[in-house]
Chains A and B, each alone.
Chain A
């Protein structure tokens, strides 16, 4: 009996130790809040479904699964919209967030499609995927052609493969620079940096000053991890320095002097004006650092604006956005990102799924998403809406009209993911210390191999 009592005590102590060790691990030093609430979420609610009575009559009671967002407050937004849709139509929507790294979520969808799984009805598709996934997606043209006309023609063209509209534009994306207005003023700057060199200098000066009172402070944060996001970031550095777009006109162009110079410039700044760990950062870590008041500059997508301006952010009212800096011989650019909604061919409730897509890509929802979540509307009239522009300053023409650069998906088709992996692995290698002159020739030959194998 004594033995049993001892065992119980041991079990309890073990559980307590586990709890303590987990909470110690979670604590660290003041870890930034994971989810700050966006500013205007209280002011605007998910819109009602326009044609709800007709949908309810036809598809009431059907169940669909939506593989949706996970970055920032995306999942919260998806849940709110799905709830509204279910209430109005009687179609039950299960929302499943996809992996935060988009190459991982590509793999997840590829797995489902290649096994002809009916477990996914609606999926969120990156702007570089329609070519690869087209054979597995429902042609939305018969039902959604009219609504597609409202959206930006260039994105609709991107989502049209072989005459079939395989996905509907949902929200757009482009890289922008976030900067701390209060710190710029404090250190005697009147405007954000125009060139990368200026950014490095300003970041250094501000960091040197701020580190005295905040040891976690860094000048600049961006997406340096070896994943899809780095392909986007590095494209902006290289293109803005006149070094091309990895592949131009079907030829691999990445190994050139301008690309080498700008990549090496970034390499020498790692750990100097950035956290040393920036080579493991994705979007969320970037946003956390900036919104926790631990960075002077950040490169991120527009979604960060809403979180930064919202409750729980330490930098609300203290930051601005502008176009990204450029290299010595070039102009500012922004990598085209953005997400589409598509319906799986293996869905058992295609019509209900299409109605969900119709709702999610409607003007009402895009306006809601732009104001509550600061995502870029793909519907032209929504992007010009006064209330929308007011809450999303990056939609002002001065920022929104900056040249957009695209990742080389059209040259690579189904091999895009593999090629992007070669690019981001190589750039990450440069950032962690290997000179560009040693890495770029390798990237070039591997990209060439992939192009040849097509």
Chain B
């Protein structure tokens, strides 16, 4: 009954049938609530942020009148070395965590995809870190990594072994993992990897489960080794799942806030982009400048999205 079904040539504009017009109108009407929601929750806040980034708006409103300042905030942002450090740190964090999470997640997914006794149990248990709220997990790790009272240093300095007559300690002395700038990135990354690897494993597991088993059987019959099966069958067929996983994780890692905030607070040289932005708006009270930072973060993240989407398009052709 729909207009698509009519085989007749499309009438010229303005001369569509009454039915067609009514259906178009109904279509828009049905779309309207969804469009309104999108406009309200996405377009309006984004537009407002962009607008604010061109003003000198302050957090404590009413103290200084808000004025249009043009590109002033962006000019200042360009010379802001602290924000530049935050970008570099966040990119490093993203590369480290997404890399480790992908490799470890893939290994775990392959393990729990193979059939063995207690597989269901294993799949449930591996999700435990993911189930803990990030702030709680971060607080927990903060205690565990404490140089005086932490369990990591305690075990590390207690565990020792003898190898070829030499005596080794896992750690020679207690180390302030979070306080020491040279290990701060490693410690914050470790928490994220510990917490998010299960999520990556879950996404990849879903991808693995749709690969038909007969492909492997056929490959075995043809004499392909397990390694060949992995490179020729598993990896190519897993590619859609891998891409989705990487996009998810990269965007999440670029927006990281909670672990950094709990671990380092306002420490200089240890701020992610989002932590810096929150500080600019809420603590310094510069809503206008913070909006410019937000726009910059939005653009950086968009860049990654464009890169990934292009990559997907190219690889599909």
Contacts and interface: CB of A to CB of B under 8 A. Distances in A.
A319 B298 CA distance: 54
Given A227-B266, A418-B285, A425-B268, A276 B125 contact: no
Contacts of A113: 60
Contacts of B285: 110, 414-415, 417-418
A27 B148 CA distance: 13
Contact of B125 (A14, A426, A428): A14
Interface residues of B, number: 45
Interface stretch (B2-10, B41-49, B171-179, B234-242): B171-179
A226 interface: yes
Contact of B148 (A13, A106, A275): A275
B96 to A, nearest CB: 21
Nearest to A294: B148
Interface string A19-43: 0011011111111100000000000
A18 B131 contact: yes
Interface of A: 3, 6-7, 9-11, 13-14, 17-18, 21-22, 24-32, 101, 103, 106-107, 110-111, 113-114, 132-133, 135-136, 215-216, 218, 225-227, 271, 275-280, 289, 294, 414-415, 417-418, 421, 424-426, 428-429, 432-433
B269 interface: yes
Given A13-B125, A29-B154, A414-B63, A103 B178 contact: no
A28 B180 contact: no
A211 to B, nearest CB: 11
A417 B30 CA distance: 50
B120 A216 contact: no
Given A7-B124, A218-B148, A425-B266, 19 more contacts: A7-B120, A10-B121, A10-B124, A18-B128, A21-B128, A26-B143, A29-B151, A29-B154, A31-B149, A110-B60, A110-B282, A135-B63, A226-B268, A276-B147, A277-B147, A277-B148, A279-B179, A418-B285, A418-B286
A289 B146 CA distance: 12
Q: Which applies to chain A's interface (DSSP): helix, strand, loop or mixed?
A: helix
B58 to A, nearest CB: 8
B265 A276 contact: no
B260 to A, nearest CB: 12
Contacts of A7: 120, 124
A402 B131 CA distance: 53
B154 to A, nearest CB: 5
Most A CB within 10 A of own CB, among B123, B264, B268: B268
A179 B61 CA distance: 46
Contacts of A11: 124
B141 A25 contact: yes
A414 B59 CA distance: 10
B62 A135 contact: yes
A294 B123 CA distance: 43
Contact of A276 (B180, B267, B282): B180
Nearest to B136: A22
